[in-house]
Amino acid sequence: ENPNSRFARISHDTTSRHIINHLAMSIFASRNLLRQARTNNQFASTRELTTAFIGLGNMGLPMCNKLLNSSSRDSGTEPIEILAFDTDHTRQNTLRIPIHGSLSDLSQYPSSKKVDVVFTMLPNDDALRKVYRSFIKYYTGDLYNTLFIDCSTVSPMTSKELQSYVRDHGCDMVDAPVSGGVKGAESKTLTFMCGGNDVAFSRAKPLLLHMGKNVVHCGDIGMGAVAKLCNNLALGIQMIGICEATNLGSAMGIDPHVLADVMNSSTSKCWSSEVCNPHPDVAAALNNGPAANNYEGGFGTSLMLKDISLAVNAGHKSGLSLPLGSAAREIYSMAEQRGLGKKDFGAVLQFLQGKDVD
């Protein structure tokens, strides 16, 4: 064979292999880009978005209703199918979709239908762990890329633990505790404090805006919980201060309405004095707050005790002294022992007076 011909053939073969390899790499890269685009824009498809909402308490129920209403045919937004879960079936009266009493019902859900998002609004860390594990256990569909959004107030360590757990199953998580109370949930003015990576947060934000006004990315997973604990630590202390000042004013003879007007136009104005004033007569005049309804329907004293305890414990682990937080924890603990655990935490006003609330 002519040496020049052999060289030309080898060069041609080498060039062909390079072209084939280049094409293969281009196809592989394109597939990866397409897959990433699908991940980042999962909720932009025309397919109905399926969302599980677990926990329909004082906060979860109005939040779920807002999400449900946002996906109505007249809203112009993407359709959302909601699977609602709560152990209290009386919630059915105020939700126009069926409520499942147990996550084991997921085993009967068609495996061909993917659950895209799982919202949770639960009272404590143990309940949240149990729900996450039960969901993974009973859901028979494709878990890949399912996004868990937890709106409970729990320890930042629990959020990190559960994100690791769901990631082992191909999912991701955002911790998104809320501020604004029941009124905020009903009026869609909640603030969500979110922790999670940028991609997970970008997927969660449009859904959270269906239920609230402000959605803040606080950092990586667990940072939403950190922000919430700091907020509720300050709020719990703030409420006790307003209660003490209100009780002092009443004891010294000033009209509580006059005192509230002064405080709400002065430097002590705050959420506990204006939005959720703990004095029943003032709350009724403002047409605002659970104090006007015998402290029903607000943020429970037991829940505030739980949140402040989480904050104080976190402070101890961080080497910080939180003397006011520790004192507030003791006051809410005593109020709970007096039977005020399910009453709004503004009932500490009555507790500090030595009165009982029916």
Residues identified as active-site? 228
Residue 65's alpha-carbon distances to 49, 92, 345, in angstroms, are: 16, 11, 25
Structure tokens at 86: 């709560």
Strands 172-175 and 178-179: unpaired
> Positive or negative CA dihedral for 246, 349, 212, 315?
positive
- C-alpha closest to that of 347 among 296, 310, 309, 303: 296
**Which positions ≥6 away from 2 have C-beta within 8 Å?**
none
Neighbours of 227 (CB within 10 A): 22
Q: What is the DSSP letter of 300?
A: B
- Determine the angle formed by the axes of helices 156-167 and 125-138, rounding to 10 degrees: 10
- C-alpha closest to that of 152 among 170, 183, 174, 184: 174
Give the CA angle between residues 171, 71, 82 to the nearest 5°.
Answer: 50
- C-alpha closest to that of 156 among 216, 219, 222, 61: 222
Q: What does residue 71 show for φ and ψ, rounded to 5 degrees?
A: -105, 15
Distance of alpha carbon 160 from the chain centroid:
14
